[in-house]
């Protein structure tokens, strides 16, 4: 079924896996558009030209699995996970019924169950979503449905004004969710954080009272384990106490931080997570499964997820099927077709075991500690401020490494260093500091 | 960077591409779970065992690219698109900034622009979404925002009760969207269809008046080009007339049917689509790009998409960057990280040209016509009814082919035949009819 020339193209893909010298090969947009010849035409192209196009796409794309790509909350590559991704693409099925995805329905169940057990739940529910923002949206929607089941049928007009609570440094997906789900961004109440970026529980209590005094009805607290910029872990125990007292849904956005649960040494950062109602966890971040792999996990055992999202499409979820239709998990989703996201994680987990994943987490923390110590020993690293954008521009144009900068709160621009790739060594940390010094030495 | 054993695994994937005898190898869930040994353990496994696991995953998965898989609105395989998917996985980046996805930001723009030109728009906006349901949700949300921009900040409490209109046979994602976005499923008004499953425009007019008389405010008409079960195309011109008169957002869900726009012979089915405000189009269906590839296209040129969805995350969309930040398209999305979905379509389009895609559409229609003629010549094909589930069970357990059945409206169970794979021949159509006769001959 595969022609030789097509095989060549498949192989062309695999040739990408050599060590690159540069993290990126910067081109201005106009120049890049011309180099790529993006236009789509009436006639097809010969195979040698397609092969060249593949090489060009690879050449000018950012090498996110380069050891010195520190720019996002994903980086590096795990070849077992990558194999799982290739296999997923080759098998091309949709994760909604046992009929078309028998292996993946059972596999998703096993992977979710294992993630839940790390959270501390012996049972519960969950589903893989296209990214952490969607997982967070699921949590907000299911929480709203638990509090006001009539919302599904009647919409928000049947409800009082609702209020959501999250820290000043939580991910912007909380705002996106509130806007998209008709709750409104001004009904997201921001709770103060301490110096380290962790939510202050006392302020949560006060903010809840404030919202009530304005006539809003609190229903959802969105805590964060691993904030996007500072990597802060909100104190879950006191937050859980407040949610218990007030009868609020407690969600933990552990998209970034969740993977500490693999580590005996570091899981204390999420102490109290088992008291949450739901958890977002993105193995595509610290665990390196590759984009996308995000789970929403629920403690609920009453099929809230299905009741909240089901639309009972008869063409897909026939009830006169010859097998147990509770295996048709698609109606838990707000999507119809859904990509298979469990295989890459499952295969990697089989390959390295929970122990191997634990080692990765521990190694990332070791690198971070080393980096902090090194930085303290050097002068000039507190004065980045206005020069960060210039250093960044030089970095990109020379392609030696990639890391991101941003301001936050009262702070001026600073670099955010993401250290998760298992390929990293202390030498890479030193390189990074030297490189910032080199790129900025005349500023 | 790749070890030999890991290379073996990569190659293991590619060995999947041989012609299978069976579409599926049915196992009961308990048996399959045992065969796969899904449990995740403390320790990793040796490479030979991982290779065996990969073989097992492939063996027991449904072969959706088998020529006789007619079960869903996706099927078949295009090796250029598959190459694009492998390359996407290998490059593992997120489609939100020019910084980390320079090639794909420009490429997405080109592909969307080309799809829009087929719709009949010289300019406009759009984005790839994780599936048609999400694309439809985008349309509903942007329409709501255009009508009531205050909804983003204040939520639905600041708005009157809204009303959505769609046909009785539209996709269930309309209901999912209304529930998720806080509009409520009872505010989705169902418009009657004719015998062929097409929306009756006169009834749309009457239903709008009915909603108004109940105090609801119409804002969104969701028409369908290619319904899920019957493949019906709603009459877009008269629907557009009504939307114009009433000042309503007109959305066309062409997830399934959109690809007819490639065909000079068949594009008349979507006459009037250029008058819509937005269009959902899934190239992963009729165009065979593989899951997932779904675009929401907008006629709007006022950046509604961005205004509606933006949350201005400072860590990602810094405004002091050294390049034109309008290339950072991520804030148009409700997601944060977003998979690259454009490459598979772009590469396939480059390979076969618009002409090649047109031929595929035309061939699918030819197969359909042949199938209808053949069915008319045979007796017994109107009496499927109660026996469909039994025929389906036998079909799955023998693994000879896969197609879906469902009831609809007053109709009893019938088989839905999806004919899109370029590998198909008239012989496959004949096989399919013979096989239904064979599987059901004693019933």
Q: Model confidence over B147-196: pLDDT tens digits?
A: 999 999 999 999 999 999 999 999 999 999 999 999 999 999 999 999 99
B385 pLDDT tier (thresholds 50, 70, 90): confident
Q: How many CB pairs under 8 A join A and B?
A: 462
Specify the CATH class of A346-439 in words.
alpha beta
Could you give the ipTM of this predicted complex?
Answer: 0.95
How much is the average pLDDT of B89-109?
Answer: 97
Q: Is B162 helix (H, G, I), strand (E, B) or coil?
A: strand
As a whole number of Å, the CA-based R_g of chain A is 24
Statement: residue A318 has pLDDT above 90: no
Q: Is B191 helix (H, G, I), strand (E, B) or coil?
A: strand
Q: Say what angle helices A4-14 and A47-60 make with each other, to 10 degrees.
A: 10
How much is the average pLDDT of B49-64?
Answer: 96
The answer to whether A13 contacts B87, with C-beta atoms less than 8 Å apart, is: yes
Q: Identify the pLDDT of residue A369.
A: 93
Q: Identify the pLDDT of residue A134.
A: 98
The answer to whether B64 contacts A312, with C-beta atoms less than 8 Å apart, is: no
The answer to whether B337 contacts A74, with C-beta atoms less than 8 Å apart, is: yes
Smallest Cα distance from B226 to chain A, Å: 15
Q: Identify the pLDDT of residue B20.
A: 58
Q: In this structure, which topology does domain A94-340 adopt according to CATH?
A: 3.40.640
State the best of B335, B347, B413, B418 to mutate against chain A, taking most chain A CBs within 10 Å. B335
B221 phi and psi, to 5 degrees?
-115, 125
Distance CA A302, CA A7 (A): 49
Is residue B46 within 8 Å of A80, Cβ to Cβ?
no
pLDDT in tens, A343-362: 999 999 999 999 999 999 99
B392 pLDDT tier (thresholds 50, 70, 90): very high
Q: Identify the pLDDT of residue B5.
A: 45
For residue B313 the two structure tokens come to 């995350």
Q: Which residues of B touch A179 (CB under 8 A)?
A: 151-152, 308-309, 311
Query: Residues near A231 by Cβ (< 8 Å), separated by ≥ 6?
Result: A197, A256, A257
Q: Which contacts of A153-156 are long-range, i.e. CB under 8 A and separated by 24 or more positions?
A: A153/B184, A153/B185, A153/B186, A154/B184, A154/B186, A154/B187, A155/A182, A155/B156, A155/B161, A155/B162, A155/B178, A155/B182, A155/B183, A155/B184, A155/B186, A155/B187, A156/A182, A156/A183, A156/B155, A156/B156, A156/B157, A156/B182, A156/B183, A156/B184
Q: Is A266 helix (H, G, I), strand (E, B) or coil?
A: coil
The answer to whether A291 contacts B339, with C-beta atoms less than 8 Å apart, is: yes
The answer to whether B292 contacts A19, with C-beta atoms less than 8 Å apart, is: no
Query: Residues near B201 by Cβ (< 8 Å), separated by ≥ 6?
Result: B235, B238, B239, B241, B242
Statement: residue A278 has pLDDT above 90: yes
Q: Identify the pLDDT of residue B19.
A: 52
Query: Residues near A412 by Cβ (< 8 Å), separated by ≥ 6?
Result: A384, A385, A386
Cα torsion at A108, A110, A113, A115 (round to 10°)? -80
Burial B298-336 (b: 16+ CB within 10 A, else e): bbbeeebbbbbbbbebebbbbeebebeeebbbbbbbbbb
Q: Exposed, middle or buried, A213 (CB in 10 Å: 0-12/13-18/19+)? A: exposed
Q: Say what angle helices B79-91 and A79-91 make with each other, to 10 degrees.
A: 160
Nearest chain B alpha carbon to A423: B1
Angle at A18 between CA A17 and CA A24, to 5 degrees: 90
Angle at B281 between CA A35 and CA A137, to 5 degrees: 95
B409 pLDDT tier (thresholds 50, 70, 90): confident
The answer to whether B86 contacts A284, with C-beta atoms less than 8 Å apart, is: no
Distance CA B357, CA A42 (A): 9
A131 phi and psi, to 5 degrees?
105, 160
B410 pLDDT tier (thresholds 50, 70, 90): confident
Statement: residue B2 has pLDDT above 50: no
Residue with tokens 């013979």: B434
How much is the average pLDDT of A312-332?
Answer: 89
**pLDDT higher for B11 or A174?**
A174
- The percent of residues in chain B predicted with pLDDT above 70, rounded, is 95
Distance CA A134, CA B334 (A): 8
Q: What is the pTM of this model?
A: 0.95
Statement: residue B3 has pLDDT above 50: no
Is residue B368 within 8 Å of B376, Cβ to Cβ?
no
Q: Identify the pLDDT of residue A21.
A: 83
Smallest Cα distance from B267 to chain A, Å: 17
H/E segment holding residue B394: helix B388-398
Q: Identify the pLDDT of residue A9.
A: 47
Q: Which residues of A touch B385 (CB under 8 A)?
A: none
Q: Identify the pLDDT of residue B386.
A: 81
The answer to whether B172 contacts A313, with C-beta atoms less than 8 Å apart, is: yes
Distance CA A424, CA A437 (A): 20
Distance CA A172, CA B151 (A): 18
Point out the residue among A130, A158, A334 whose CB comes nearest to the CB of B176.
A334
Q: Identify the pLDDT of residue B11.
A: 46
How much is the average pLDDT of B338-357?
Answer: 98
Query: Residues near A440 by Cβ (< 8 Å), separated by ≥ 6?
Result: A384, A387, A390, A391
The answer to whether A62 contacts B102, with C-beta atoms less than 8 Å apart, is: yes
Q: Identify the pLDDT of residue A336.
A: 94
Statement: residue A217 has pLDDT above 70: yes
The answer to whether B64 contacts A114, with C-beta atoms less than 8 Å apart, is: no
Distance CA A152, CA A170 (A): 27
The answer to whether B389 contacts A322, with C-beta atoms less than 8 Å apart, is: yes
| CA proximity to A345, closest of A115, A92, A138 | A115
| CA proximity to A23, closest of A73, A63, A55 | A63
Q: Which residues of B touch A54 (CB under 8 A)?
A: 83, 87, 347
For residue B182 the two structure tokens come to 């806080």
Query: Residues near B305 by Cβ (< 8 Å), separated by ≥ 6?
Result: B125, B126, B127, B138, B142, B298, B332
Statement: residue A5 has pLDDT above 70: no
Can you say whether residue A295 is alpha, beta or left, with left for phi > 0 and alpha for psi between -120 and 50 degrees? beta
Q: Which residues of B touch A284 (CB under 8 A)?
A: 337
Q: Identify the pLDDT of residue B225.
A: 98
Statement: residue A326 has pLDDT above 60: yes
Smallest Cα distance from B257 to chain A, Å: 16
Residue with tokens 């030979």: B48
Q: Identify the pLDDT of residue A313.
A: 85
């Amino acid at each position: 079924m595969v022609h030789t020339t097509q095989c060549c193209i498949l192989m062309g893909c695999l040739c990408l896996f050599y060590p690159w010298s540069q993290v990126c090969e910067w081109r201005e947009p106009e120049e890049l558009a011309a180099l790529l010849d993006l236009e789509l035409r009436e006639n097809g192209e010969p195979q040698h030209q397609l092969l060249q196009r593949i090489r060009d796409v690879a050449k000018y794309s950012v090498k996110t699995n380069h050891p010195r790509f520190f720019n996002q909350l994903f980086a590096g590559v795990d070849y077992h996970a990558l194999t799982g991704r290739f296999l997923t693409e080759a098998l091309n099925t949709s994760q909604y019924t046992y009929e078309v995805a028998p292996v993946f329905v059972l596999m998703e169940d096993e992977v979710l169950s294992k993630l839940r057990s790390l959270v501390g739940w012996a049972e519960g529910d969950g589903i893989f979503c296209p990214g952490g923002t969607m997982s967070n949206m699921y949590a907000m929607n299911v929480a709203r449905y638990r509090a006001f089941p009539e919302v599904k049928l009647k919409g928000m007009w049947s409800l009082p004004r609702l209020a959501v609570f999250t820290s000043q440094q939580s991910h912007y997906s909380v705002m996106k969710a509130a806007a998209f789900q008709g709750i409104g961004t001004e009904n997201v109440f921001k709770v103060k954080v301490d110096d380290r970026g962790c939510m202050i529980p006392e302020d949560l209590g006060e903010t809840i009272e404030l919202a009530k005094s304005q006539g809003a009805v609190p229903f959802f607290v969105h805590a964060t384990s691993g904030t996007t910029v500072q990597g802060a872990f909100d104190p879950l125990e006191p937050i859980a106490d407040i949610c218990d007292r007030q009868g609020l849904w407690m969600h933990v956005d552990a998209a970034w931080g969740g993977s500490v649960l693999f580590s005996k040494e570091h899981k204390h950062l999420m102490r109290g997570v088992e008291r949450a109602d739901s958890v977002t966890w993105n193995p595509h971040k610290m665990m390196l499964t590759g984009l996308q792999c995000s789970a929403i996990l629920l403690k609920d055992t009453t099929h809230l997820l299905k009741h909240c999202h089901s639309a009972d499409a008869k063409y897909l979820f026939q009830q006169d099927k010859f097998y147990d239709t509770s295996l048709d998990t698609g109606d838990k989703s707000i999507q119809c077709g859904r990509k298979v996201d469990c295989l890459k994680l499952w295969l990697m987990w089989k390959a390295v075991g929970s122990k191997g994943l634990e080692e990765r987490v521990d190694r990332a923390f070791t690198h971070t500690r080393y980096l902090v110590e090194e930085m303290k020993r050097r002068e000039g690293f507190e004065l980045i401020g206005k020069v960060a954008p210039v250093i960044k521009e030089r970095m990109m144009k020379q392609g030696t490494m990639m890391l991101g900068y941003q301001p936050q709160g009262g702070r001026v621009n600073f670099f955010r260093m993401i250290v998760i790739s298992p390929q990293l060594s202390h030498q890479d940390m030193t390189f990074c500091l030297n490189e910032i010094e080199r790129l900025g030495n005349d500023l």
